[in-house]
A = this chain, B = another copy of it.
Amino acid sequence: MAPRNAPRSRRERPAKPALTYDGIVATAVRLMKDEGLRRVTMRRLAQELDTGPASLYVYVANTAELHAAILEELLGAVDLTPVAAPGDWRDRLAGVLGSYTEVLFQHPDLAHSALVARPSGPNYLALVEAVLALLHEGGVPDGQAAWGVDVLLQVATATAAEQSARDRDAAAEDEHLALVAALRAVPAETYPRIAALAGDLVSGTPEQRLAWTFRAVINGARTTARTTD
């Protein structure tokens, strides 16, 4: 046992390290990994940093910005090596997008927040750059590449966000099952095409569907001119 009244805790563990933006974000990332994004609230985070919630507003404008900062941090894990690897550009682009998707699927609540407040830090920019570089290599015209990168990242993000809601709580899963049931039980007179395609509409894993979607969007972006109409 340490002697009583020793000034240890005062000197070795300064109870309150000064607040910094980086420190706040790092704590937020840890909190999210430990307890999920739902618990990364201004109040809970302030508690973790041994302060009051008002103090955080000096560094972060609101909760959405905080969540965007967490995502930006995690985007450092996206594998961008396919950009410089050999092989077909489409496959390598699908690889980068697949890696982005994996990051989102591992922390799926973030995908949801990414749709609302996109990050704009270096890791996000590096991802955009990688996608643009591969579209350029594939000969996709600049204007189409510029708009195409948005669509590609958006479908990946939206798919992860949808999936995340179902993973998180049973109610969202129930609702998805309700949709599947509704599609299968639909009267063929009123909805002939839905009835004809019932099986196809719900087939495949999210990953399989997303892989096809990436290819389809890449092909579409490559071949669809940006006419001003």
Contacts and interface: CB of A to CB of B under 8 A. Distances in A.
Given A120-B175, A151-B213, 18 more contacts: A61-B174, A62-B171, A64-B172, A115-B162, A115-B165, A118-B176, A120-B178, A125-B183, A128-B194, A146-B200, A146-B201, A147-B200, A151-B155, A154-B158, A157-B158, A216-B217, A217-B220, A219-B219
Interface of A: 61-62, 64-65, 68, 112, 115-118, 120, 125-126, 128-129, 132-133, 136, 142-151, 154-155, 157-159, 161-162, 165, 171-172, 174-176, 178-179, 182-183, 186, 190-194, 196-197, 200-201, 203-204, 209, 211-213, 215-221, 223-224, 226, 229
Given A118-B179, A147-B209, A151-B216, A191 B223 contact: no
A23 B222 CA distance: 49
Contacts of A192: 129, 133
A165 B209 contact: no
A191 B121 CA distance: 12
B161 A115 contact: yes
Contacts of A176: 118
Q: In the assembly, how many copies of this chain are there?
A: 2
Contacts of A193: 129, 132-133, 136
Nearest to A146: B200
Nearest to A128: B194
